[in-house]
Structure 1
Amino acid sequence: MTVAADTLAPSRAKRFRAATHAAHERVDSAVMAAQPFAARENYARFLRFQYRLHRHVEALYADPALQPFLPTLAERSRLEALTRDFADLGLTLPEATDGPALPLPEALGWLYVVEGSNMGAAFLAKEAAKIGLSDDFGARHLAGHAEGRGLHWRRFVAGLDSVDLSPDEDTRAEAAATTAFDHVLKLVNEECAAR
């Protein structure tokens, strides 16, 4: 009976998605309300938000303790691409700080949110092209992975779902995903809100 229950239980990624749906919607609405692709000035504010977010989680991508669970994690970081986007556009990098080191469950929640944003970046990349930006200029951080966004995401989800967590740790990971979305919304409001 335990085996059947485990087989029928939704994956960790699906549970995170259900638990964070409302928070995710708030972030999407705030980003689109900022009209990041209406003008380069708007996009520059969007880039500031993106850079601050990715700088905040950069330590997770380099954390050796996470690599056995998510073997391609280090190469998934988009911070370097963001830095190049700023250089392409002649913009100064914003002040940003690294986030705290996180235990495994909380790290998984945060990574779920940041990695998931790469799926939505396909739409954003098309919008960026309308203001002359591309995977090679100014919107490098929105580029899809060479193997395709879908496969890249599925590989991440497989790793996320395979980590053995206790029920308490799983609850903490899910709560961390919500916290991560709240942090993203805070950054969007600070950087992208109409000025």
Structure 2
Amino acid sequence: MAAHDLASDFTDLPRSQRLKAATRATHDRLDRRIMAGDIFADRGRFARFVRVQYRFHRDIDALYAHPALDALLPDLAGRRRLDQIASDLRDLGQALPTPAQPKAEAGLPLAQALGWLYVAEGSNLGGSVLYKLAAKLGLDREFGARHLAAHPDGVARHWREFTAALDSAALDAAQERDLVAGAEAAFRSVRGHVEAEFA
């Protein structure tokens, strides 16, 4: 589904669900590629996945200081996970991936930035499933899997608060397209990091 379809297709659905539909194919391909890496086979392979997470969250770290996003999204600073991921990597005996140019700058237009954060917040939602699998490796919110642990308010509530803000944002047609473009760019960024770590 092309980016321009968000506003015209599934018009009876909230924006967050239309965005999910518009990016489903890209998202599904990414999920399959990650799971093909057999990330729960052992701690070493899981560490590669955490490195992917670190690279992506380093890409978007500037967005947590984005003034327009801060005004729109509840507890924006509290949604930042880069430090937790860094701690998980240290637990796993991993050096932090070498610095790279961030992909999502703080000055990114609001709708594109929302698309990037949609991907990050969606990974939080999926993280609750991965957290249970990480437990089989002896990892938890105290060691090695902090970034996958549910928010104290509950992962579902945290997601609903994000999607409610996304659904209520005032976006014009061009911004609707930018929203999808931002999410697609974020998924592609993660895919690139997966290929770098699992090649």
TM-score over 0.5 for the pair: yes
Tell me what 1:107 maps to: 113
CA distance, structure 2, for counterparts of residue 30 and residue 72 of structure 1: 31
1:119-157: per-residue Cα shift (whole Å, max 9, x none)?
111111111111111111000000110111100000000
Q: Which runs of 5+ in 1 are unaligned?
A: 1-7
Q: How many residues align?
A: 186
Percent identical among aligned pairs is 49
Tell me what 2:97 maps to: 94
Tell me what 1:119 maps to: 125
Aligned amino acid, residue 166 of structure 2: L
SS at match of 2:73: coil
CA distance, structure 2, for counterparts of residue 124 and residue 15 of structure 1: 25
Superposition deviation, residue 192 in structure 1: 2.5
1:89-134: per-residue Cα shift (whole Å, max 9, x none)?
2211011332333110100111111110111111111111111111
Aligned amino acid, residue 44 of structure 2: E
Aligned amino acid, residue 13 of structure 1: S
Tell me what 1:3 maps to: none
Q: TM-score, normalised by structure 2?
A: 0.89
CA distance, structure 2, for counterparts of residue 155 and residue 34 of structure 1: 32
Q: Are residue 69 (structure 1) and residue 75 (structure 2) matched?
A: no
Superposition deviation, residue 10 in structure 1: 1.7
Contact 1:56 1:96 in 2 (8 A): no
Deviant stretches of 4+, over 6 Å: none
Deviates more, 1:44-53 or 1:178-187: 178-187
Of 40, 45, 52, the residue aligned with 2:55 is 52
Tell me what 2:189 maps to: 183
Tell me what 1:26 maps to: 29
Aligned amino acid, residue 143 of structure 1: A
Q: Are residue 37 (structure 1) and residue 40 (structure 2) matched?
A: yes
CA distance, structure 2, for counterparts of residue 113 and residue 37 of structure 1: 22
Contact 1:58 1:77 in 2 (8 A): yes
Q: Which runs of 5+ in 2 are unaligned?
A: 1-10
Tell me what 1:82 maps to: 85
